[in-house]
């Protein structure tokens, strides 16, 4: 009896006699512990074998360590890929067709909706598929500038703020270059003085965009946001020993420029597929917000017209009386 069989004997398991019998047949040397399958496991293996038809599970009789090595070699040679499916039954063929349909549907989802190509309106040049993850040609700065100049812009100001322009410019730099939603979120949690004032100017400018052209917050981005120096008040600075100096009270101005987001340009400029998907979802959300705002505006106009019609009817009725 070797060390392996002694260890199983000391454990007192029901597996001891089987290990001893295998050790006796192999000359007292056991290379690996063999587990004999039960009747339920054999039935399960047979059912599994009917589905795949490639691996044969031996019965309990005549099962030895050599057969285990042969089985291991056969399993190592039998490679099952990630997308493996057997053609033994018609159900598996249906599964293959379903997988192909799902793959085609996924490819359709990943394909761009509208526009399918990024086209320059003036020159008529096409620069590739919007959601294409391959290396696309870089847009010329003139093309980018031309498209951005055609977008609608809205200017907002706040003057004579009792704050240092250097400190206020640090807050404005945080909001510049972000979408309006992200800028308002960042300023909401920013623990700096007058951060709420910058957010107030942004909201006021977005209201101006809504009044003029019906653009919502999700359709705007912060193109410019900076602070400049205003007039400084000079006051006396009292010092010791009868001396005095000059104290400067600093004031500053804020200038904000909101611009309409060019979603095809943004999607084209992104490098990874996840970033392109993010901007596609943002575009869809902006379209939904615009449609909801338009429906609300039409409903208000309808109610106003209805109210005016009722007032006119009352006036006519009063005149007849």
- Statement to judge: residues 268 and 147 lie in one domain: yes
Handedness of CA 61, 66, 71, 74 (dihedral sign): negative
pLDDT for the residue 39: 72
Among 216, 235, 261, the domain boundary falls at 261
| Residue 84 counted as domain residue | no
Residues 163 and 240 in one domain: yes
Residue 307 confidence class, pLDDT cut points 50, 70, 90: very high
- Provide the pLDDT for residue 295: 95
Alpha carbon distance 180, 157 (integer Å): 16
On whether both 250 and 269 belong to a single domain, the answer is: no
Contacts of 156-159 with CB under 8 Å at 24 or more apart are 156/201, 156/202, 156/204, 156/205, 156/208, 156/255, 156/256, 156/257, 156/258, 157/201, 157/253, 157/254, 157/255, 157/256, 158/197, 158/200, 158/201, 158/253, 158/254, 159/230, 159/253, 159/254
pTM, rounded to two decimals: 0.58
**Residue 45, in any domain of the structure:** yes
Could you tell me the residue range of the domain that residue 173 belongs to?
154-261
**Dihedral sign computed on CA atoms, order 126, 130, 131, 136:** positive
Same domain membership, residue 290 and residue 146: yes
Residue 85 lies in a domain: no
Domain boundary among 219, 244, 261: 261
Q: Residue 41's pLDDT is what?
A: 72
Give me the mean pLDDT over the 148-154 stretch.
95
> Residue 243 and residue 247: Cα distance in Å, rounded?
13
| Residues 204 and 273 grouped into a single domain | no
Cβ-contact 206, 220 below 8 angstroms: yes
Confirm whether 46 is domain-assigned.
yes
Nearest alpha carbon to residue 180 among 205, 149, 212, 155? 205
- Which of 261, 293, 309 represents a domain boundary (last residue)? 261
Instruction: Give me the pLDDT at residue 151, please.
Output: 96
**Inside any domain, residue 294:** yes
Distance of CA 68 to the CA centre of its chain: 49
Does the pLDDT value for residue 33 go beyond 60?
Answer: no
Q: Which residues contact 30 (CB under 8 A, 6 or more apart)?
A: 2, 4, 5, 19, 22, 23, 65
Cα–Cα distance for residue pair 22/62, rounded to 1 Å:
11
- Whether residues 169 and 306 share a domain: the answer is no
**pLDDT bracket for residue 300 (50, 70, 90):** very high
pLDDT tens-place string over residues 40-82: 777 766 665 555 444 444 444 444 445 545 544 554 444 444 4
Q: Are residues 176 and 234 in the same domain?
A: yes
Domain with 255 in it: what CATH number? 3.90.470.10
Residue count of the chain, please give it: 321
pLDDT on residue 196: 96
């Amino acid at each position: 009896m070797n060390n392996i069989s002694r260890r199983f004997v000391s454990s007192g398991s029901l597996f001891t006699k089987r290990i001893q019998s295998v050790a006796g047949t192999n000359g007292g040397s056991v290379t690996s512990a063999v587990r004999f399958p039960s009747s339920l496991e054999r039935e399960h293996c047979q059912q599994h074998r009917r589905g795949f038809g490639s691996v044969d599970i031996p019965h309990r009789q005549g099962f030895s360590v050599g057969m285990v090595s042969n089985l291991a070699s056969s399993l190592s040679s039998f490679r099952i890929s990630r997308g493996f499916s057997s053609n033994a039954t018609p159900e598996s063929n249906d599964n293959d067709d379903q997988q192909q349909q799902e793959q085609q549907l996924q490819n359709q989802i990943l394909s761009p909706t509208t526009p399918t190509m990024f086209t320059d309106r003036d020159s008529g040049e096409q620069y590739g598929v919007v959601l294409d993850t391959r290396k696309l040609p870089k847009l010329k700065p003139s093309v980018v500038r031309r498209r951005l100049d055609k977008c609608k812009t809205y200017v907002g100001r706040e003057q004579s703020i009792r704050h240092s322009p250097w400190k206020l410019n640090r807050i404005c730099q945080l909001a510049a270059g972000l979408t309006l939603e992200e800028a308002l979120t960042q300023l909401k949690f920013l623990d700096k003085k007058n951060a709420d004032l910058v957010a107030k100017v942004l909201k006021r400018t977005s209201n101006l965009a809504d009044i003029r052209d019906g653009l919502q917050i999700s359709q705007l981005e912060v193109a410019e946001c900076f602070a400049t120096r205003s007039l400084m008040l000079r006051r006396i600075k009292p010092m010791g020993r009868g001396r005095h100096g000059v104290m400067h009270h600093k004031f500053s101005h804020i200038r904000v420029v909101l611009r309409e987001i060019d979603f095809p340009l943004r999607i084209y400029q992104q490098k990874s597929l996840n970033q392109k998907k993010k901007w596609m979802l943002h575009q869809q959300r902006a379209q939904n917000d615009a449609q909801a705002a338009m429906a609300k505006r039409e409903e208000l106009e309808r109610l106003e017209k209805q109210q005016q019609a009722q007032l006119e009817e009352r006036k006519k009725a009063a005149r007849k009386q």
